[in-house]
Amino acid sequence: MIDYIVTVLTEGSIFAIMALGLNVIWGWSGDFDLAYYGYVALGAYMTLVLSIGPAVDPTTYILGLTLPFPVAVLIAILSSMVLALIIGAIALRHLRGIYFSIVTLGAVYVLYIFAGQFVPLFNGFNGLSGLFDPMGAFFGIDFASYEYFYLGVCVVALIAVLIVLTRLNSSRFGLALRSIREDERAAAAFGRDIYRTKLKAYVLGAGVGGLAGGLFAGYLSAFNTSAWSPVETIILYAAILVGGRGSSRGVVLGVAVMVIGLQEATRYLPEVASHPSFAPALRLIITGVVLVLFIRFRPQGILPERRLRDKDPTGKGDAQVAVEHQIAGPTLDTGTA
């Protein structure tokens, strides 16, 4: 039983970090990015090739440097950010709305195909394996208590991400980002550099995704193309939408309900004979239904983004009303194509 709780909490923390990264891109910046899971996957792949040994015949992959796990994760985060910088620089310059989504969808499929087909890179569709209990030997932790240690690592990472994002959210950068989300033209008129601000958010979100990917690789000890697909992004979107787009508390709640809750609720379904894909398919159907219903009936989610208050005590009255009116949480529609 305790093992079960540890597993759920570890997975929950990792998925929460994943969703928080996407929330920066979609919740704050308002870009419906379909490439996001590509950054998570790249983080996982890079962590593995950096921390496991060199390739042994018949496997082939790049690097194999046997670096310490934290260093590997750091470099993995950087590589996800570099990839996001390239894709974001192309996609964010002129494209908004569905055109942006289509180009990012293309980008992630290119990545997915290369990861699965181009064997010299990450060993093709067989993928990478062999990262057992990272940091376990260094801290002298035995096999039995390792899972508690790794849960601790993931929870600490989640809390760190939450603190950093909460601070950023109320910083000038966070405010600029949300003003752009609400009205790009108005924000430009007030002197915001739309492209650079959005690109910064995009790269930041991808970095958080890379961190989640690294932790995920350490947890799974292996990664391949059957462990991820571009569709996973939709599950993260469903979690954000249910919890409350733009709100960090909401996103964590959304992951608890839509990723962990749904998975555990359907885990013990009676296995339909000769139908191994019944439970996963049912999960995806429920995800789809929830997605449609929330967009229609509660687009702000269960715990909506908090309205900003005017902190200037002299500005009570009309000014405060005006500010609240202007930034009243996310409206789902962010501009047209």
Partner 1 sequence: MHQALLTLGFGLVGAAILSLSALAFTLEYSVTNVANLSHGEILTVGAYCAYLVQQHGGGVILSGLAAAAGGGVLALAVHNGIVDRFVRKGIGALPTFIATLGVSLIIQNALVIIFGASNLGYTVPQGAPRNVGPFLWTDTEIQIMVSAVVITVALYLIIQHTRFGKSLRAVSQNRSLASVSGINAHRVAALTWLLAGLIAGYAGFILAESIGTFSPYSGFNFFLITLTASVAGGLGKAFGTLVGAIIVGIALEFFGGYLSSSYNLAFAFALLAVVILVRPRGLFVGGRRSIFG
Out of 3, 57, 318, 333, the only residue in the binding site for partner 1 (CB under 8 A) is 333
Out of 8, 119, 284, 328, the only residue in the binding site for partner 1 (CB under 8 A) is 284
Q: For partner 1, give the closer residue by CB, 135 or 291.
A: 291
Residue 195 interacting with partner 1 (CB under 8 A): no
Residue 270 interacting with partner 1 (CB under 8 A): no
d(CA 18, CA 36): 9
Out of 296, 309, 311, 325, the only residue in the binding site for partner 1 (CB under 8 A) is 296
Q: Which of 330, 7, 290, 295 minimizes the C-alpha distance to 151?
A: 7
69 alpha carbon, distance to own chain's centre: 20
Q: Are 18 and 163 in contact (CB under 8 A)?
A: no
Residue 269 interacting with partner 1 (CB under 8 A): no
First CA to last CA distance, the chain = 50
Q: For partner 1, give the closer residue by CB, 234 or 303.
A: 234
Site for partner 1 in 101-160 (CB under 8 A): 101-103, 105-107, 109-110, 113-114, 117
Out of 3, 268, 275, 311, the only residue in the binding site for partner 1 (CB under 8 A) is 275
Q: Which of 95, 323, 48, 49 minimizes the C-alpha distance to 202?
A: 95
Q: Which range touches partner 1 (CB under 8 A), out of 149-157, 168-176, 192-200, 274-282?
A: 274-282
Radius of gyration of the chain (CA): 21
Identity at 150, one-letter amino acid code:
Y
Q: Are 122 and 213 in contact (CB under 8 A)?
A: no
Identity at 223, one-letter amino acid code:
F
Bridging pattern class, strands 222-223 and 128-129: antiparallel
84 alpha carbon, distance to own chain's centre: 13
Out of 15, 28, 32, 228, the only residue in the binding site for partner 1 (CB under 8 A) is 32
Site for partner 1 in 71-100 (CB under 8 A): 90, 94-95, 97-99
Residue 265 interacting with partner 1 (CB under 8 A): no
Q: For partner 1, give the closer residue by CB, 134 or 301.
A: 301
Secondary structure tally for the chain: helices H, strands E: 14, 2
Q: For partner 1, give the closer residue by CB, 215 or 241.
A: 241
| Greatest Cα-to-Cα distance within the chain, rounded to the nearest angstrom | 72
Q: For partner 1, give the closer residue by CB, 109 or 149.
A: 109
d(CA 257, CA 241): 11
Residues that bind partner 1 (CB under 8 A): 32, 90, 94-95, 97-99, 101-103, 105-107, 109-110, 113-114, 117, 231, 234, 237-238, 275, 277-278, 281-282, 284-285, 287-292, 295-296, 299, 332-337
